[in-house]
Amino acid sequence: MSVATVMAIDDDPGITALFKRFLQPAGFKLCECHHALNAEAKIEEALPDVVLVDLYMPEVSGFELIERFHERWPDLPLIAISGTDKVADVVRAMRVGAWNFIEKPILDFDAITDILRVAISRARKIREKIRAEEYLHQQKENLEHLVAERSAALVKTNRELQETIKKLQQSQSQMVQQEKLASIGNLAAGIAHELNTPVGFVFSNFHSMKDYILKFRSLIEKYRDFHGRLVGVDGVPVAEREALAKLEESLQLDFILEDLDELFAESEDGFERITSIVTKLREFSRVDQRDETSLYCLNKAIDTTLVVARNEYKYDAEVRTVLDPKLPEVYCHVGQINQVILNIIVNAAQAIKEQERQGFGVIEIETGATRECVWCRIKDDGPGIKPEHLNKIFEPFFTTKPPGRGTGLGLNISYDIIVNKHQGELIVDSEYGQGTEFTIQLPRCQVV
């Protein structure tokens, strides 16, 4: 065991010499200090294990020293040397930081060495405890640091997972929607194709028939004229002429001949409508160029989409269009833009239908342009969207429709098409109980 160092601070050299005499044989090393003002520097230099402080010295009082040293080195044992037997001094010294006290005159050396040993051992224990506490504190900090690091890593992983889930949902949503788009497109294209051939030959036959019938009509008119001129001519059998006149009358020949023109006109109008529907169905699907962008007019998109969506709205809503006749064309994916307009119109129609109202609802479609963009507003007077749903409607799979009726992908994919694929904007404005308005904005002169 190393030798313990004792510092004795006392202005009386006799006392310190006495300490030296009996402490050195007892295994202590003694440092003497006779000037209280030097004491602090001496402690710093000698690093004693225990310090003896006389309470009454001329330069500075021992109480003051004890208080200062205790504050600076709380684990340094300070033993007061009290020349008096005043209990009050002892109590005061202990209060300001003394660990123990030794009474002058110094008589019982063994008792003093015991006091010193106990103080040193206590100080060691305190230091060990402090070290252990410091160690524990350090470990705790390390642990907390580690936990914080791991938590941050977990949070990061969790965020990445969420991102991945979102991306997966997005791509799933896109796949489903593309599938949907393709099937609607294919369906429309298929119907258009199927109709085209029979409509073609029916139309061609109709023209031939019209030609024949007009020929018959002019012939009949000639016969009738001739027949009229036979009245009263000798040799013409009266009974047969009258029978012919009766037959004409019963067949309503006059009416038929007159009605023919109207029938032809109506049928031609019908053929034109069928041809226009077939053309619009083909336009809507654009099967041949679904992946390409081209200059396209939003008015046309509305026109064609209304044909495809007609069955969805015709029993519940009236569609009113105010289309800007000078609307500029924009570069876009035609099939995708048609799909967005279809989604929004079908949503409006379904929302109105779900109200089960008495009369028809109204879907207003308007187009226009600014210097930067062309826009299309689709407004319905349906039930509106609840405020708490408004910020969710563009999320994938958000739907308020019963299972099997809505997948909750329509607006999500529409947003993706307009905002991400065309750098445009898709804005919703809805008041619950009043109706909903969607605005599509597509930048002008943008090649996507």
Residues of this chain that interact with ligand ATP (CB under 6 A) are 343, 347-348, 351, 380, 382-383, 385, 393, 398-401, 406-412, 436
Shortest Å distance, C-beta 353 to ligand ATP:
11
Name the CA dihedral angle for 187, 190, 194, 197, rounded to a multiple of 10 degrees.
Answer: 140
Copy the structure tokens of residue 283.
Answer: 């336009």
What does each C-alpha distance from 319 to 69, 71, 127, 362, 385 come to in angstroms?
A: 94, 89, 89, 6, 20
List, in sequence order, every residue forming a beta bridge with 80; answer none if it has no partner.
53, 101
Nearer to Mg ion, 77 or 410 (CB): 410
Q: Which does 185 bind (CB under 5 to 8 A by kind): Mg ion, ligand ATP, none?
A: none
Q: Which does 399 bind (CB under 5 to 8 A by kind): Mg ion, ligand ATP, none?
A: ligand ATP
Q: Which does 190 bind (CB under 5 to 8 A by kind): Mg ion, ligand ATP, none?
A: none
Shortest Å distance, C-beta 182 to ligand ATP:
15
What does each C-alpha distance from 356 to 33, 94, 403, 432 come to in angstroms?
A: 105, 92, 19, 16
| 3-state class (DSSP) for residue 262 | helix
Binding mask 390-429 for Mg ion (x = CB under 5 A): --------------------x-------------------
Pairwise CA distance, residues 429 & 377, whole Å: 10
Shortest Å distance, C-beta 402 to ligand ATP:
10
Q: Which does 283 bind (CB under 5 to 8 A by kind): ligand ATP, Mg ion, none?
A: none
Nearer to Mg ion, 285 or 347 (CB): 347
Please name which of 17, 56, 13 lies closest in space to residue 65, comparing C-alpha atoms: 56
Q: Which does 398 bind (CB under 5 to 8 A by kind): ligand ATP, Mg ion, none?
A: ligand ATP
Radius of gyration of the chain (CA): 54
Nearer to ligand ATP, 181 or 348 (CB): 348
Shortest Å distance, C-beta 352 to ligand ATP:
8
| Residues 61 and 10 sit within 8 Å (Cβ to Cβ) | no
Nearer to ligand ATP, 36 or 340 (CB): 340
Shortest Å distance, C-beta 177 to Mg ion:
10
Nearer to ligand ATP, 406 or 443 (CB): 406
Shortest Å distance, C-beta 280 to ligand ATP:
22
Indicate the residue whose CB is closest to Mg ion.
410
Q: Which does 424 bind (CB under 5 to 8 A by kind): Mg ion, ligand ATP, none?
A: none
Count of alpha carbons within 13 Å of 132, Cβ hemisphere only? Answer: 6
What does each C-alpha distance from 410 to 68, 370, 448 come to in angstroms?
A: 79, 27, 22
Please name which of 389, 378, 350 lies closest in space to residue 436, comparing C-alpha atoms: 378
Shortest Å distance, C-beta 308 to ligand ATP:
15
Of 338-377, which residues contact Mg ion (CB under 5 A)? Answer: 347
Q: Which does 412 bind (CB under 5 to 8 A by kind): Mg ion, ligand ATP, none?
A: ligand ATP
| Residues 29 and 4 sit within 8 Å (Cβ to Cβ) | yes
Q: Which does 62 bind (CB under 5 to 8 A by kind): Mg ion, ligand ATP, none?
A: none
What does each C-alpha distance from 255 to 207, 221, 250, 260, 262 come to in angstroms?
A: 21, 13, 11, 8, 11
Shortest Å distance, C-beta 414 to Mg ion:
8
Nearer to ligand ATP, 83 or 408 (CB): 408
What length does the chain have? 448
- Determine if the peptide bond prior to 25 is cis (ω within 30°): no
List, in sequence order, every residue forming a beta bridge with 362; answer none if it has no partner.
318
Helices (DSSP H) in 24-61: which residue ranges?
39-46
Shortest Å distance, C-beta 168 to ligand ATP:
18
Nearer to ligand ATP, 5 or 399 (CB): 399
Name the CA dihedral angle for 194, 199, 200, 202, rounded to a multiple of 10 degrees.
Answer: 140
Q: Which does 368 bind (CB under 5 to 8 A by kind): Mg ion, ligand ATP, none?
A: none
| Residues 365 and 403 sit within 8 Å (Cβ to Cβ) | no
Nearer to ligand ATP, 83 or 406 (CB): 406
Nearer to Mg ion, 177 or 347 (CB): 347
The residue whose two tokens read 């044909």 is 307
* Residue 373, phi then psi, degrees to nearest 5: -150, 165
Shortest Å distance, C-beta 409 to Mg ion:
8
Pairwise CA distance, residues 353 & 309, whole Å: 14
The residue whose two tokens read 């010294």 is 93
Q: Does 304 bind Mg ion (CB under 5 A)?
A: no
Nearer to ligand ATP, 50 or 317 (CB): 317
Nearer to Mg ion, 145 or 401 (CB): 401
Binding site for Mg ion (CB under 5 A): 347, 410
